[in-house]
Amino acid sequence: MVGGNAIRGSRIGAGPMGEAERGEAAPRTFVTYWCANGHEVTPSFAVDDSVEVPEQWECKFCGLPAGQDRDNPPAPPTAEVYKTHLAYVKERRSDSEGDAILQERLGELRDRGLIQ
């Protein structure tokens, strides 16, 4: 015989009364969405005047946006290319401005005797 205090065959929240104990479920509507990879997602929404069904939903399989039109799903978002610090600096300054700043700084270092 196995000892212990485990309650077998049950789970938290399970009770003898079922639905009556937790209350009645709200009426729901199911909306189907498709992503560019062909995945189908069907979330449920409350049937209520204050609830708006969104045009797009995130696919739970691949994370792409999914739309309600199976033949024309939303396009995948374009990834922004990683930029280095130098790329951001070059956006703010032209080459001639960069050369002028470099020469100014080198002049300051020469005056202090740090470089020749």
Give the burial class of 41: count Cβ atoms within 10 A of its Cβ; 0-12 exposed, 13-18 middle, 19 or more buried: middle
**39 annotated ligand binder:** yes
**64 annotated ligand binder:** no
**32 annotated ligand binder:** no
Residue closest to 73 by CA, chosen among 32, 34, 42, 31:
34
**35 annotated ligand binder:** yes
Binding site as annotated, residues for Zn(2+): 35, 39, 59, 62
